[in-house]
Amino acid sequence: MYDLLIVDDEPIAVRAIERGIDWSDLDIRRIHTAGDYEDAVEILDNHPVRILITDIEMPGTNGIRLLEYVNRCYPRVRAIVTTGHSQFEYIQKALQYRTLDYLLKPLDFKQLKSIVERAIRELDHERDMESLHRSYEESQLQWQRNLPILEDRFWQDVLNHRIRLTPDNIRSTIESYRIRLRPDLTILPVLISIELWHGSFSASEEEALEYALRKAAEELILRDDLEGRSVHDRNGVNVLLIYLAEGAEPIPQQQLTERCRNFVETCGEMFYCSVSCYIGDPCPIEQVPYSFRQLLRAERDNVTEMRTVCCAASARNRDIHVDIRLPAFEEWQTMLETGRKTEFLHAHDEWFHSLADSGSATPETLRAFCIGFMNMIFQVSSVHGIPLSELPIFGDDHDLYAHCRSIQTLSLWSARLTEELFARCQKLGRPSLRSPAIETTLAHINENLDEDLSLESIARLVHLNPAYLSRLFKKEMGVSMSEYIIQARITRAKDMLRSPDVKISSIAASVGYTHFSHFAKMFRRIVGMSPHEYRNHFLQR
């Protein structure tokens, strides 16, 4: 709906236009009238006028002056000129100010209404175009804001094999996400392994610290001369992916190592944690998951050093063909140990379908899978106490590699072996168990709540890398180890507070808190009241 202004020094002419035309079927919200230049300017300055009908010849300041003012201050107003003079000079002056149209008096009201209808159509089109432009700008701004999220989602898809890792499919995925990555990028992965938190933090506090740590990695390792992105994998792993453009001078290994060492030191000072960095080999995007798993294996195997920088990927599996892409056996093993049969078989079939579709399988690929799969089966059998002699491990010919003749035979053999393993577990009445490392960890924690329990000391007890143990604990228990220890201590304290004869300070010491204020703070965070309030509440029941 639009406001219309009629300007004429003759009141009869104004009323004739206002009342002589049926405006009800047009998008006219309000009709304003003025008898001279000054009144018209006041209305224009105080009302949202979008259509102007004005006479040229008026006493004092004429209509040409009004058109000049409108053109200068309100250029989006559509102006229609009426005049009793047919001289060309008047028409020429009116056209200089982008007049929509002009009419000679006496006016043809039907023609005037038609011109106003045209003005409304132009205004509607202008409004629609502005709305479209605003929507485009908003979508562009939203896309700019979402770029980090989209880029992170792309890398999650790559690391977790949610897309087929072929050059054509990677290119189409990048185009669909509209992210600023080149499909031919070379990626240098750096695994950031959080080994130990120096303090008691809640799960949300640890997440905030991890986010700050990833941003610090981008700042301290990438600096101003490298591009890349830090990614938080769905399994809780942090990895920095450095982008190396084709033809660009690669960063010297020594320089990258020094930057990582500086980052490791900064984490100890600023983020209350011990961190190690594992530097991988440069590879194309389609081989990033393989390189990533190499770094995870290097992290898992490192049980002797903390706060270190290790160039791990180039030192392992040099005899394996670079195109080998193995599944995430660690995740598969967890599915087997926890009885998630359907999920495991789905992941198993998906991997073999992906391998067949890629067209890049080699005998080395199948043999490498066979070795990794058998190692996984040995470990799961050990967890469940199943003698290997009860499983059809080698088949009748006792030739392990006989199953590697084709993708199909290897897929059928590994699926059959898995089905047999699940059947044995159900027969023993143990469809799922926690891993031995976690069982030992839980027993140690619950038996030593009065001691200084640290991730590092427990990791030494179970002979695992601290960062690997931390992720394994959270995956199987659903909470971080530090949060579990706090909850176990507070649960023990609640039981002891039910006895009125034991001093609260003694209870705090017996569950591992040397400072009573820290104990009271943790107790209030978990229970919602102080230890004194809890004891009084319990005794009054």
Q: What is the CATH number of the domain that holds 534?
A: 1.10.10.60
Q: What are the two backbone dihedrals, phi and then psi, of residue 86, each rounded to the nearest 5 degrees?
A: -100, 5
E strand or H helix that includes residue 232: strand 227-232
Residue 464 lies in a domain: yes
Query: 143 or 422, which is more confident?
Result: 422
Spatial separation of the C-alpha atoms in residues 337 and 433, rounded to whole Å: 6
Spatial separation of the C-alpha atoms in residues 173 and 401, rounded to whole Å: 36
What integer pLDDT is reported at residue 367 of this predicted model?
83
Residue 10 lies in a domain: yes
Q: How many CA within 13 A on the CB side of residue 105?
A: 16
> Which of these, 329, 328, 301, lies nearest to 313 by C-alpha position?
301
Examine residue 531 and say whether the peptide bond preceding it is cis (omega within 30 degrees of 0).
no
What integer pLDDT is reported at residue 86 of this predicted model?
60
Q: What are the two backbone dihedrals, phi and then psi, of residue 225, each rounded to the nearest 5 degrees?
A: -105, 0
**DSSP 8-state symbol, 309:** E
> 328 with 259, same domain?
no
What integer pLDDT is reported at residue 396 of this predicted model?
45
- pTM of the prediction? 0.52
- For the stretch 524-533, contacts whose Cβ atoms lie closer than 8 Å and that sit 24 or more positions apart, written own/partner, are 525/202, 526/486, 526/487, 526/490, 527/490, 527/494, 531/493, 531/497, 531/504, 531/507, 532/504
Total domain count, the chain: 4
Span 411-435, pLDDT tens digits: 888 888 888 888 877 776 654 556 7
Span 230-277, pLDDT tens digits: 999 888 899 999 999 777 777 888 999 999 999 999 998 888 888 999
Mean pLDDT of 290-313: 81
Query: 315 or 162, which is more confident?
Result: 162
Final residue in a domain of this structure, among 315, 330, 346: 315
Instruction: Tell me how many degrees the CA angle 457-460-465 measures, rounded to the nearest 5.
Output: 105
Span 34-67, pLDDT tens digits: 999 999 999 999 999 999 999 887 777 778 888 8
> 171 with 292, same domain?
yes
> 334 with 411, same domain?
yes
Final residue in a domain of this structure, among 77, 108, 127: 127
> 288 with 402, same domain?
no
Spatial separation of the C-alpha atoms in residues 307 and 227, rounded to whole Å: 24
pLDDT at 5 over 90: yes
Span 340-350, pLDDT tens digits: 788 888 889 98
> 258 with 382, same domain?
no
Place of tokens 């176990």: 488
Query: 143 or 156, which is more confident?
Result: 156
Q: How far is CA 204 from the centre of its chain?
A: 17
> 203 with 66, same domain?
no
pLDDT at 338 over 80: no
Span 496-534, pLDDT tens digits: 998 888 899 999 999 999 899 999 999 999 999 999 999
pLDDT at 395 over 60: no
What integer pLDDT is reported at residue 63 of this predicted model?
81
**Above pLDDT 70, what percent of the chain?**
89
pLDDT-based confidence at residue 93 (cuts at 50, 70, 90)? low
Spatial separation of the C-alpha atoms in residues 249 and 425, rounded to whole Å: 54
Spatial separation of the C-alpha atoms in residues 504 and 506, rounded to whole Å: 5
Mean pLDDT of 202-227: 91
Which CATH number fits the domain that encloses residue 241? 3.30.70.1230
Q: Which of 13-27, 330-344, 455-469, 521-535 has the lowest mean pLDDT?
A: 330-344
**DSSP 8-state symbol, 250:** P
> 25 with 116, same domain?
yes
What integer pLDDT is reported at residue 383 of this predicted model?
64
For 73-106, give the secondary structure using H, E and C. Answer: HCCCCEEEEEECCCCHHHHHHHHHCCCCEEEECC
Averaging pLDDT over each range in 309-318, 354-363, 483-492, which range is the top one?
483-492
Runs of H (alpha helix) within 271-340: 288-301, 329-337
pLDDT at 322 over 60: no
Query: 492 or 406, which is more confident?
Result: 492
> 449 with 427, same domain?
no
What integer pLDDT is reported at residue 90 of this predicted model?
59
In the numeric block, which tokens belong to residue 486?
A: 């706090």
Average pLDDT of the chain, as a whole number: 84
Residue 438 lies in a domain: no
Spatial separation of the C-alpha atoms in residues 486 and 315, rounded to whole Å: 40
What integer pLDDT is reported at residue 149 of this predicted model?
85
Residue 327 lies in a domain: yes
pLDDT at 145 over 80: no
Residue 284 lies in a domain: yes
What integer pLDDT is reported at residue 375 of this predicted model?
85
In the numeric block, which tokens belong to residue 453?
A: 């329990």
Averaging pLDDT over each range in 47-61, 84-98, 114-128, which range is the top one?
114-128
What integer pLDDT is reported at residue 199 of this predicted model?
78
Mean pLDDT of 392-401: 53
> 52 with 168, same domain?
no
Amino acid at 13: A
> 183 with 306, same domain?
yes
Final residue in a domain of this structure, among 109, 127, 145: 127
Q: Which of 111-125, 281-295, 366-380 has the lowest mean pLDDT?
A: 366-380
Residue 120 lies in a domain: yes
Residue 149 lies in a domain: no
Residue 190 lies in a domain: yes
What integer pLDDT is reported at residue 45 of this predicted model?
94
Mean pLDDT of 276-296: 91
Max alpha carbon distance in the chain (Å)? 115
Which CATH number fits the domain that encloses residue 84? 3.40.50.2300
Judge whether 231 and 159 are in contact, CB under 8 Å: yes
The Cα-based distances of 159 to 112, 171, 288, 293, 345 in angstroms read 68, 16, 7, 9, 20
Domain extent at residue 108:
2-127
Q: Which of 41-50, 146-155, 159-168, 384-393 has the lowest mean pLDDT?
A: 384-393
> Which of these, 541, 449, 529, 451, lies nearest to 500 by C-alpha position?
541
Q: Which of 3-12, 26-35, 531-540 has the lowest mean pLDDT?
A: 531-540
What integer pLDDT is reported at residue 125 of this predicted model?
92
Judge whether 252 and 242 are in contact, CB under 8 Å: no
Judge whether 8 and 82 are in contact, CB under 8 Å: yes
> 358 with 487, same domain?
no
> 421 with 338, same domain?
yes
